[in-house]
Structure 1
Amino acid sequence: MPESLAQAIARAGSPVTLLRNAQARPTVFPVTPEFSNWRSEQQAWRTSVALLDQSHHMTDLFITGPDALRLLSDVGVNSFSNFKVDQAKQYIAVNHEGYLIGDAILFYLAEESFDLVGWHMVLDWVQYHGETGDYDVSFERDASSVVREGDPKLYRFEIQGPNALALMEKATGATVPPTRFFGMTTFTIDGLEVRSLRHGMAGQPGFELFGPWAEGERVRSALIAAGDGLDLVLVGSKAYSSANLESAWVPSPIPAIFSGEGTDAYREWLPAARAGSLAGSFASEDIADFYITPYDIGYGRSVAFDHDFIGRAALERHAADQARQKVTLVWNPEDVAAAIQSLLEPGVPAKYIDFPKARYGQHQVDRVLRDGKDVGISHDAGYITNEHAFVSLASIENEYATPGTEVEVVWGEDPNSQKPAVEKHRQVSIRATVQPAPYSAFARENYRKS
């Protein structure tokens, strides 16, 4: 039997100790890192059209049965009152205390048939409640290629950029039907039926295409052929991993599963291998100090108190007292350069800053200060070629969330943890300026319209 999360915490002594020193290697998307170079690939989704392969790094949880929709409604904060086949939504769940478990994309494939796609955190939570509750449901999990043996069940491609619509019309030989944001439709490409989700990444028009794995290469080849004359750019995992910085999606906040009502049994059920790792300068022995609410990262628009769900009463209290909001922090170029330069000087350097994505644990949590006072936490950090800026996504107290406010990000760990991605280093303070999230004006104004 694999070690459970409960057993791993008992062995380590506490959740914080377990996560801080997790021996998991850095997350690597199991696809080609760069087809050309990540800078040009980042530019493609802003200036022409990008083709990204999402087939390998996400997990699919297929949920079927007469109680599938009831389970999703009981666990999720979203409204399901008008949810229909061929629609999708960003699915969000919280624990009984109203703190975030995670989010994923939920596809309504057919009657009594759903596909929940994304990081495993919220997928695990849904499957646990489905298996231990009074639900007539079945689950089929297709894990990422990092842990799966064999090919994925589905291919999943992303088309993004101002030329995306022209590419789809050329590839299908037909006018693309009007489809609202997060609506689904079906295309024919090279004689094959291809399902599509309409959405934008970094504020640009976009389509997520999926179908049986055996048909994937044929569809990909047809897309590449149609891209001739449209400046189609193949995008590798390095650029893709940074795309969320432009759309302002926080990919992996720490899930609130280490304390709270009903989580003891969940930790006994959950394999320790899916616990993740904790990185960053924020330090506390109380794991609950790392939790966030949906409102802290801009998910308030998805919360619907039109049904009963796990954590509803607590989330209503959080809704009435929204202390933080999501922002972009634009890091000071001189301070970033000084941290990098420290690697070229004698002595203990600053924590290495990787490009384009600087996160060095699954859950990155860095302190944000104003005049020496903690005013929030910084999440994902990295470089946006299209904005010539190094940024992080952050949850900041409302008082300090006004664009233009000057803050500091504490970068690096003290003491240094034992994670494989952590070398001997010293903490440094990096000045940053609060800006809106998304940072790009185009993404801010057009993301949900694309």
Structure 2
Amino acid sequence: MSRRTSVDIAEAQRSTYEAVLRLKDAPFIAERPAYFSPAAAAQDESNTQGAFAPFAQILLPLEYTNWIEESAAHVTSCYLGDWSSLHKVVVRGREALDFLAWLGIRDLSRFAHGQIKHHVQLDQSGWVASEGILCRLDEEEFLYTAGSGDWLIWQLSQGSWDAEIQDVSPDRFIFGIQGPAALDTLEKLTGEDLRDIAFSRSRMSRIAGVPVRVLRTGISGELGYELHGPAGHASEIWSATVESGGRFGIRQLGLRSQPVQHIEAGIATNGLDYLPASILTPGAPRQFRRGTPGGSFVPENGITDYFRKPGELGWGFRKGVPDRDFQGRDALAADAAEGEPRRTLVGLRWHSEDVAGILTAHLGEGELPDPMEVPRGRGPAFDQVLVGGQRVGVSTGRTVSVNLRATISLCVIDDDHATPGSEVVVLWGRPGTAQREVRATVSALPFKPDRRRTDVSAL
């Protein structure tokens, strides 16, 4: 690809991105342009069905082969998936680190160059407002990638920090390569040994002369990496990755299967397994502007019943709330003094016979329940979890896992019922529909062995 062509692609990406944001309330296509991945040209070659769906602002292919093959690839070989839809913001300046340390609950006092940290951001009431991945690029420069960086951007604007933010979302691609063959694929792609990159670390490399950052991450619960690079070269690097991984069985991952791995790995996803508290503020994430959650859950206390405290999602502290200052700390300390949270995140394995009854209901007689999409539905869905007819939790992220040969979900549940092996009932279907009760068993998380920290020196 010529330099001129790559520049044209990069300029088109930013121009379209800015138009989508500026015209967010305009009619689709007629006034608001369609926005595709910077790798759309390469992806189109394998997207034989020509079907797309939105992930944030970007339209991505739904499937390349089929969802069964694609959602198993991170266990059997590896996949190449497109996370370019994530919001990407660079924070830089003399007080950038201080600002980020105040905004998130993680201790950033020991934060090496190239290191990656999960950055959970709270509102003043201690609810999770945003969360994503923070990477230290330089002494005073950090990259935050998340479903939305709007809360972070707004929070910086409310203070007097000596720091600035740059939205680089359309300028960079993010590709995920996850699975046991991920390292072999990337070493063939880059032509260099990458075994020095430890888990939650990153460094620069090159692909065909193009500078890219290689990050070792674990969203699949398996050995995995991300590639971050310039949007103008996204298609050529996508194609080169597919070619390099061909001998190792690589599969391209469509949007239909993308969220399955998160549930297998026990990772709650912003906007799907909980709603961020930022939706009530000017820092509301732009991708959550339409629709309402599905499922049988009926909130008793309003919108906050869809919010979560970090401890309910497994993101709390091991030894009490630390003394250092961060937003939401006082609220968490008050919760701890009252014995909160009293709920914890577990997994649920749904009874296969009950699930099959819903999937095949349209072949029999009687009232039809809400349909059950496979491998999982689009958008957030919250279902009531019952014991003896009483509400004890909320199930989210219901998905079919071909790796586990089971239907599974995450569940925030009362501590009294969180013991693995406990039997519960999930109420399937929106209120007013022909609801079905589905038996389920509490499971520890993750659902399958955690291989994110695989010792690559021994491979």
Kindly indicate whether the alpha-carbon contact (under 8 Å) linking 1:86 and 1:108 is maintained by their aligned counterparts in 2: yes
Q: Cα deviation per residue 1:83-135 (whole Å; 9 max; x = unaligned)?
A: 13211111101121212223111122223222211212xx2222221111112
Letter in 2 for 1:204: E
Gaps of 5+ in 2: 1-20, 25-52
Which secondary structure state, in structure 2, belongs to the residue aligned with residue 155 of structure 1?
strand
- 1:305 counterpart residue number: 322
Cα distance in 1, alignment partners of residues 305 and 285 from structure 2: 23
Q: Give me the TM-score of the superposition, normalised by structure 2.
A: 0.80
Partner of 1:41: 70
Structure 2 SS opposite 1:179: coil
The answer as to whether partners of 1:182 and 1:197 remain within 8 angstroms in 2 is yes
Q: Within 2, Cα distance between the matches of 1:173 and 1:295?
A: 42
SS in 2 for 1:239: coil
% same residue: 31
Are the equivalent residues in 1 in contact too, given 2:321–2:333 (CA < 8 A)? no
Partner amino acid, structure 2, of 1:202: S
> Separation in 1 of the partners of 2:243 and 2:286?
44
| Residue 80 of structure 1: how far off its partner (Å) | 0.7
Amino acid in the other structure paired with 2:62: P
User: 1:362-402 CA distances to partner (integer Å, 9 max, x unpaired)?
Assistant: 3x322111111111111211111111111111111121111
Q: Specify which of 172, 177, 196 is matched with residue 154 of structure 1.
A: 172
Higher RCO, 1 vs 2 (CA within 8 Å, ≥6 residues apart):
1
CA distance in 1, matches of 2:316, 2:284: 28
**What is the identity, as a one-letter code, of the residue corresponding to 2:108?**
F
Residue number among 86, 89, 92 corresponding to 1:61 in the alignment = 89
> What is the SS of the residue equivalent to 1:72?
helix
Secondary structure of the structure 1 residue equivalent to 2:61: coil
Q: Deviations over 1:315-342 (max 9, x none)?
A: 1243453312111101111111111222
Partner residue, 2:163: 137
Find the aligned partners of 1:178 and 1:373 in 2 and give their Cα distance: 52
Alpha carbons 1:293, 1:318 under 8 Å: kept: no
Residue of structure 1 equivalent to 2:9: none
Does residue 188 in structure 1 map to residue 206 in structure 2? Answer: yes
Q: How far is 1:350 from its partner?
A: 1.1
* CA distance in 1 between partners of 2:356 and 2:73 (Å): 26
The alpha-carbon distance between structure 1 residues 211 and 257, as it changes in their structure 2 partners (threshold 3 A), is: closer
Q: Please state how far the C-alpha of 1:304 moved relative to its aligned partner.
A: 6.7
Aligned to 1:107: 135
How far 1:344 moved relative to its partner? Answer: 2.9
User: Following the alignment from structure 1 to structure 2, what is the Cα–Cα distance between the partners of residues 26 and 85?
Assistant: 33
Q: In 2, distance between residues paired with 1:447 and 1:208? A: 13
Which of 295, 298, 305 is the aligned partner of 1:289? 305
Measure how far apart 1:78 and its partner are: 0.8
- Residue 180 of structure 1 aligns to a residue in which SS? coil
Q: Once structures 1 and 2 are overlaid, which stretch shifts more, 275-284 or 406-415?
A: 275-284
Distance 1:244 1:254, change over 3 A: same
Aligned to 1:89: 117
Structure 1 stretch displaced more, 315-324 or 406-415 = 315-324
> Is 1:127 aligned to 2:131, yes or no?
no
What are the residue-to-residue correspondences of 1:243-258 with 2, within 5 Å? 243-252=261-270, 253-257=274-278
Tell me: CA distance 1:369–1:76, structure 2 relative to 1, closer, same or farther (3 Å).
same
Q: Does the CA contact (< 8 Å) of 1:202 and 1:243 recur in 2?
A: yes
Q: Aligned to 2:226, what secondary structure does the other structure show?
A: strand
Q: Unaligned stretches of 5+ in structure 1?
A: 5-24, 144-151, 416-424
Instruction: Output aligned runs, 1:381-396, within 5 Å.
Output: 381-396=398-413
Q: Quick one: which of 421, 437, 441 aligns to 1:429? A: 437
Q: What CA distance in whole angstroms lies between the structure 1 residues aligned with 2:309 and 2:127?
A: 5
Equivalent residue for 1:118, pick from 135, 141, 146: 146
On the 8 A contact 2:151/2:285 being kept in 1, the answer is no
Q: Who is 1:341 aligned against?
A: 360
* Superposition map of 1:168-179 within 5 A: 168-179=186-197
Q: Indicate the larger mover: 205-214 or 280-289.
A: 280-289
Deviation at 1:192, TM superposition (A): 2.1
| CA-CA distance at 1:301 after TM superposition | 5.1
User: Any conservation in 2 of the 1:78–1:304 contact (CA below 8 Å)?
Assistant: no
Distance 1:210 1:433, change over 3 A: same
Following TM superposition, by how much is the alpha carbon of 1:26 offset from its aligned partner in structure 2, in angstroms?
8.1
Partner Cα distance (1:186, 1:306) in 2: 36
Contact map agreement 1:79 1:304 (CA 8 A) in 2: no
Any idea what the Cα deviations from partners look like across 1:246-274, whole Å, max 9, x if unmatched?
1111112112247xxxx6xx34x658874
Query: Which residue is 1:405 aligned to?
Result: 422
Report if aligned partners of 1:351, 1:426 keep a CA contact under 8 Å in 2: yes
| Helix, strand or coil at the partner of 1:439 | coil
Secondary structure in 1 matching 2:360: helix
- Normalised by the size of structure 1, how large is the TM-score? 0.81
Moved more, 345-354 or 322-331: 345-354
Provide the secondary structure at the position in 1 that maps to 2:186: helix
Tell me which amino acid in the other structure corresponds to 2:405: H
Aligned-pair distance for 1:281? 1.6
Contact 1:77 1:304 in 2 (8 A): no
d(CA) in 1 for partners of 2:286 and 2:135? Answer: 28
Q: Distance in 2 between matches of 1:169 and 1:272?
A: 37
Q: CA deviation at 1:43?
A: 1.7
Distance in 1 (CA, whole Å) between partners of 2:23 and 2:177 is 40
